[in-house]
Amino acid sequence: MSAERITRREMLKRLIVAPIGAAVLTTLEVRQASAATMQPYYDPYFVAVLWEGRTRCDSLWRSLKGDVVAILPTVQGTTPYDRLYWTGYALGSVPVNVNMRVLARAVDLSGAPLGSGWRPIGQAAIQTPPQRWFRVEIPEGHWDEYRIEVRSATPRLVYSRVIASQGYWKE
């Protein structure tokens, strides 16, 4: 392999104009320890982030994604996961009082639900002092799709994340 002297500016330009080919990438050194920092990963459990964002809660039952279309799932492809965790933070200066409910359903091999509607898994009220964290555990796992809905009599902005764990997966 021959050496070539170029400026940093030229190097950057080459990286942008001529990205490294896939064939070369396969031979590059990659350290797993570095990769692990990019994704929550706790051996022997495997945890995946399914959704993250903010939801404007109002008096309607809304998915975390904001929609009020009852047939739409909030998260999909959840078959491998033993349980889900919904962790969030509600803004505002008054105590938080947000109602939530979790629905689930299974789909066939083409991705169509086995039947109409959803199975209600649970419903609860999240009540905390202002600007506090909350966490909800959804222990009924392995459903293919979940719809997580929230509503609040007082409009409220909730930042939250849904993660899922493969609870009894061991190497």
Partner 1 sequence: MPVRFLRNASELADVSMESPLPVQVANAKPVPADTLLVATTTVTTTTNRDLMENTNTETPTLDNCGQYRKLVWFYFRAGNAATTCRILARTTDLSAQPLGAGWQELVTDTLPGGANSWGRIEIPSAGDGYYDQYRIEVYRTDGNNYTLTSKVIGVRG
Residue numbers of the site for partner 1 (CB under 8 A)?
1-4, 8, 11-12, 15, 20, 24-25, 28-31, 34-36, 38-39, 41, 46, 79-80, 82, 104-109, 113-119, 140, 142-144, 166, 168-170
Would you say 17 or 114 has its CB closer to partner 1?
114
Shortest approach of partner 1 to residue 31 CB, angstroms? 4
Query: How many Å apart are CA 134 and CA 96, to the nearest integer?
Result: 10
Shortest approach of partner 1 to residue 104 CB, angstroms? 8
Shortest approach of partner 1 to residue 24 CB, angstroms? 7
Query: How many Å apart are CA 89 and CA 132, to the nearest integer?
Result: 6
- Between vectors from CA 116 to CA 115 and to CA 118, what angle results, nearest 5°? 100
Shortest approach of partner 1 to residue 141 CB, angstroms? 8
- How far is residue 50 from each of residues 19, 76, 114, 115, 145, measured CA to CA in Å? 30, 8, 22, 24, 11
Would you say 93 or 108 has its CB closer to partner 1?
108
Query: How many Å apart are CA 57 and CA 103, to the nearest integer?
Result: 18
